[in-house]
Structure 1
Amino acid sequence: MASFLVYYGTGEGQTAKVADRIVETLIERGHDATAVDAAHGLGDRSLADFDAVVVGASIHAGKHQAAVTEFVEANHEALAGTPTAFFQVSMSSATEQGREQAAGYVESFLEATDWHPDRIATFGGALRFSEYGFLKRFLVKQVAKKEFPDVDRSADAEFTDWQAVADFANDVAAFVEGRLGVVPTDGAPATE
């Protein structure tokens, strides 16, 4: 069994949902996994308490959460010596045309932090119309009308591919199992 930290930043909650699904998948494989919101920090825990680290962030106005960037920069040395993964949640990832832009956000983040995670994934986000104030709801609906013409703008919309999230978590787990020589307790093969 390996111990995983899933450290994430979220703007409107979708990245937290993705982090929770990753944790759930890792636990189903027989590992110990803990999700920690970057807004709260690690508290009395240390990266040394974990065998692997998964970092996640969402994109808002072209930027990741500052707390996530600061975490990666502050723990650069520890992350370099640990199996790691990075996931990003954005509306750009929800469309074929936006995937290049989403990849550019990942590349910029990794260049700025000089971090080289072992695994990387991008996932579509969500539009939470019910949580936006009047002006933001109006503006987001205008963008959604153009970018997602088939989406019902009278209700919240989710664009996350949950199977892709589970596949990513399983890939990360298999990589870590292979790297650490850990056999998963669910019977899945420990391969890289």
Structure 2
Amino acid sequence: MVSILIPYGTGEGQTATVADRIADVLDERGHDATAIDAEELPPDLEVDGFDAVCIGASIHMGKHQSAVRDFVEANRDALASRPTAFFQLSMSSAVADETRQAEAAGYVDEFLEETGWHPDRIGLFGGALRYSKYGFLKRLLMKRIAGDATGDTDTSRDYEYTDWHEVDAFAADYAAFVESRLGVRPADPRDADPSNVDSSGEETLE
């Protein structure tokens, strides 16, 4: 069994939901995954107490949460010595437009360059529009951003863009990488064979 820390930054909760989903996938493979908001990390938490780390953040106004950045910068050496991954949620990843996809990748590149961190795996996912949780000014701003990106400007409802098959596939790929690097096997031997997961993240049985 591998112990995996999943610290994340979240605005209205979508990144937290994704972190929990990743933790569930890792737990199902027989590992011990702990998802926790980076703003709520205990001051005495030691990254060295975990075998692997998967960090998540979302984009708000072009930036990741400062708590995530602080965590990476404070633990850069410990992260470099173990299997790591980074996943990001953004509106830019909610659409198939190449320009938007490049924008999402650019946010990651900027973050990694500024922190000096080099994760082994990277996942880019669409986030969510939580109009119901925004204040008046933020609702207007996000409506304008959504109008350019997805066209979803009806503020009377919320929208979710996360592809859960992609999240599951990312978690399974990261788990397989961790297991290979640390020389352990998943609880279910089928999970050790990447051919059991197709491109959509669904398990296939032969």
- Sort the TM-score into its range (normalised by shorter chain): over 0.9
Q: CA deviation at 1:46?
A: 1.3
Once residues 182 and 136 of structure 1 are traced to their aligned partners in structure 2, the CA distance between those partners, rounded to angstroms, is: 46
Aligned AA for 2:188?
D
Once the 2 structures are TM-superposed, how far is the Cα of residue 153 of structure 1 from its aligned partner?
A: 4.1
Q: CA deviation at 1:190?
A: 3.5
Q: Is the 8 A contact 1:181 1:190 kept in 2?
A: no
- SS of the aligned residue for 1:6 comes to strand
Q: Deviations over 1:158-188 (max 9, x none)?
A: 0000110111000000000001110100223
Matches within 5 A, 1:1-192: 1-97=1-97, 98-149=100-151, 152-190=154-192
CA contact (8 A) 1:151 1:157 kept: no
Paired with 1:40 and 1:150, the residues of 2 have a C-alpha distance of: 32
CA contact (8 A) 1:7 1:36 kept: yes
Q: Structure 2 CA distance, aligned partners of 1:6 and 1:59?
A: 17
**Cα distance in 2, alignment partners of residues 139 and 61 from structure 1:** 10
- Structure 1 alignment gaps of length 5 or more: none
Structure 2 distance, partners of 1:186, 1:42, is: 32
Whole-Å Cα distance in 2 between the matches of residues 14 and 182 of structure 1?
Answer: 31
Q: Is the 8 A contact 2:128 2:161 kept in 1?
A: yes
Q: Which moved more, 1:161-170 or 1:41-50?
A: 41-50
Distance, in Å, in 2 between the alignment partners of 1:14 and 1:167 is 18
Deviations along 1:140-170, one digit per CA (max 9) or x if unpaired, are 2233234223675421000000110111000
1:135 Cα shift?
A: 2.5
Report Cα offsets for 1:6-38 as digits up to 9, x if no partner.
011111111101100000110111111001111
**2 CA distance for matches of 1:13 and 1:189?**
29
Contact 1:178 1:191 in 2 (8 A): no
Instruction: Note if contact 1:10-1:58 (Cα within 8 Å) is conserved in structure 2.
Output: yes
Distance between the aligned counterparts of 2:153 and 2:62, measured in 1? 23
Amino acid at match of 1:130: S
The CA distance in 2 between the partners of 1:175 and 1:142, in whole Å, is 40
Secondary structure of the corresponding residue to residue 178 of structure 2: helix
State how far apart, in whole Å, the 2-side matches of 1:27 and 1:65 are: 26
Q: Give, in angstroms, the shift of residue 82 of structure 1.
A: 0.5
The gaps in structure 2 that reach 5 residues or longer are: 195-206
Counterpart Cα distance in 1 of 2:39 and 2:152:
34
Deviation of 1:113 after TM superposition, in Å, equals 0.7
Change (3 A) 1:23 1:69: same
